[in-house]
Structure 1
Amino acid sequence: MRPWTAVPPQQGRRFVITGANGGVGFQVARILGSRGAEVVLACRNLEKGEAAARQVPGYDAGRVVVRRLDVADLASVRAFADALLSEYDGLDVLVNNAGVLGAPYALTADGVETHFATNHLGHFALTNLLLPRIRDRVVVTSSREHRRGSDIDVDDLAWERRPYKPFAAYAQSKLADLLFMSELQRRLAAAGSNVRAVGAHPGASSTNITSGTGHPIITWIGYHGQRLVAMPAWRGALCTVYAATMDIPGDTYIGPHGRWELHGWPSAARRSAAARDTGLARRLWEVSEKMSGVTFPSL
């Protein structure tokens, strides 16, 4: 497959990227900034966010800004959305990128398990809060590991009745992302909206995502192992950039084209049978609305 780096010009388009101070999100911001986009880096740590923003093309021209967002905290999600809606009359693309992997068991201030809160529920709430101002599309970041999450239990998302397994919790949260993407697209189509919901995953990309495991050996193996076998983060970021900028239908899922979707250039990615389960997607949506207090808006 031929390499793809031909990102279309993005002048006059505004992107919001969660978790953009490092890893894939940072590289997405850099690529989009280099093509003339306006970029909002939504970061939990403002100091790290500002340091990252200064490295994004367009920063000196005022096209790159940083806003605080802790996607695992629903109060922070609401505050961020309110501020953004008051500041901008339109947003072209929301890139739901922030994520955690292998975190020890913990509940957020909202009583939600960390992986589910960060990787899915906060982005679910943020998307629905911003949706009336989004002009083009929502990009949901999943993982090839979503295939290991088929045993998701929507009645025990806090892992109160099951032995907690951090990597299983991650896989199930990434399955939730794909179910969310598909159900969001169905609801957008039913509402007559031209906004698209699409997804992407970065394959094996060298990032710092294992830094929050709480286990020094696993963190060390993850950090150094990725640098030995994974693609550079900018290569993995191209899948997200492709999903965010190319003319693709809603409910399209993009990932690396190579073997096992670990390496390669942006291409159509495979999803599990569970990720195509419309009944499960509807059930998850209902539970997510109840947990977040946010519903699909009138468009």
Structure 2
Amino acid sequence: MRRPRPRLLVPGAVLLLLATACGAVRADQDGSAGAAVPAPRATVTDPPVDGVQITSVTLPSASPAPSATPGGVHADRLPGGSGISAAYRVSNDGAEAMTYTVLFAFTTDTGAVMDHKEVTVSGVGPGRGRSGTVDLGALAPGASPVTRVRIEKVSKVPTAEAPARTGACPASGLRLWADDGDAAMGLRIVGLHLENCGKQDRTLDGYPRLTLLDEDREPVHGIRVLHGGTAIASGTGFDDPPAPLTLKPGQTALSALIWRNTTLAGTAVNVPYVRVLAEPGAAPVTVAPGLDLGTTGRLGVGAWKRAGR
């Protein structure tokens, strides 16, 4: 019977447990360079964030032998990358299959973010879990040492309504997703992309139908959804009225969510999710644009137009 490993208390925001995991590093058992030995891994005991938990972090460094330091456990760095990674566990305690999008931040001891990595975990069934690993890859030249990994953001939507940029074409024949958006001077614009991935022509004439949802994916009331970008700001590129648009298989249309994050009197409103119908009767797709609407109470939506216009 294997004996439990001794616990190592590490100062800082993360409590670490020194453990051994598979992974080659360039260090001998006696500390000299040459032989490959397992890279040490630090087990993290931070609580889950919306069902997602970092379970361990591997933080190789240029030191010739493994050594415990505040915030992580270090070993030699492998050629071609930083060797930094985090193992995570996604647990679904809900009643339906969910798809999770997780943004990980790789930071220094002071919390400065050196890079982000986004991972999508699809189809986690109710009462089930899924484990994985996210790798930082190569750090930019001159970047400060990464010593911690944290969960920056978790978005989760029903798998039946999950957006998809790639993969199998949905049964509806339409693939819809939101991009990362653009922000300037308090103006926010997030593109909605619609691809005809089916085998028949599809005709659009109008605006996407939107339902704003809170963190529990319940409807948010009191926000006016206005047609056209000019309802929020001029020059957004989504000012034209709707016109009939036929998408042949493989062609793409574009709309947008437009808002300002102005905060004056009252309570600021944040809307994490938007359920989108590309046209009446279409299958719903739930995107996670993170609408920081401030106290404006308004959201603009552009008419569908051909992508590239």
TM range (shorter): under 0.3
Between Structure 1 and Structure 2, which shows a larger proportion of helix residues? 1
Return the TM-score normalized by structure 2: 0.25
State the structure with more CA Rg: 2
Return the TM-score normalized by structure 1: 0.26
Between Structure 1 and Structure 2, which shows a larger proportion of strand residues? 2
Looking at both structures, which has the greater relative contact order when contacts are Cα pairs under 8 Å and sequence separation is at least 6? 1
